[in-house]
Amino acid sequence: MAYTILASALAYQFGAEKPRSFRFVIVDEAFGRGSEESARFGMELFEMLNLQLLVLTPLQKINVIEKYISSVNFVHNNAEGSCSVLRNMTIEELNQERLDQGAMRIVS
């Protein structure tokens, strides 16, 4: 329900009849607590409305939305917490790295 309301409001705001309008939306941890089914519903709805998304989500939820994304910017903080590393990779590179490491944890 929340995704439908959000997507409807965005479509109204941007003008659904204007296909060349700027349709960039930032979705911050919207899929962290919801079910996989509701996350997929939201992503499909946003896709139907031609919205370009920047999705911030825990790494554990990437598998739910990876069908809808083309690249990942992964932020890793070392054990001491003194510095962070930002890595940009395609979803294919992320999946290959997961296979190579045999786990979902990515090491920078």
Rounded Cα gap, residues 90 and 96, in angstroms: 10
* Nearest-angstrom CA–CA distance, 64 and 36: 6
Q: Write down the pLDDT at residue 107.
A: 45
In terms of residue numbers, what domain contains 25? 1-69
Residues 74 and 60 in one domain: no
Q: 108: pLDDT confidence band, cut at 50, 70 and 90? A: very low
Same domain, 96 and 44: no
Is 94 found in the same domain as 75? yes
Angle value at C-alpha 70, between 66 and 68, nearest 5 degrees: 40
What's the whole-number mean pLDDT along residues 25-33? 75
Is pTM, for the whole model, over 0.85?
Answer: no
Measure the CA dihedral 16/43/71/53, to 10°: 40
Q: Angle at Cα 59 formed by Cα 103 and Cα 70, nearest 5°?
A: 100
Q: Are residues 9 and 58 both part of a single domain?
A: yes
Number of alpha helices (DSSP H) and beta strands (DSSP E) in the chain: 4, 4
Q: Give how many domains the chain has, as a whole number.
A: 2
Give me the chain's average pLDDT, please: 77
What digits encode the pLDDT tens for the residues 40-87?
888 888 888 778 888 888 777 788 888 888 888 888 787 777 788 888
Q: List the structure tokens of 79.
A: 């054990």
Q: Is the pLDDT of residue 105 over 60?
A: no
DSSP for residue 97: H
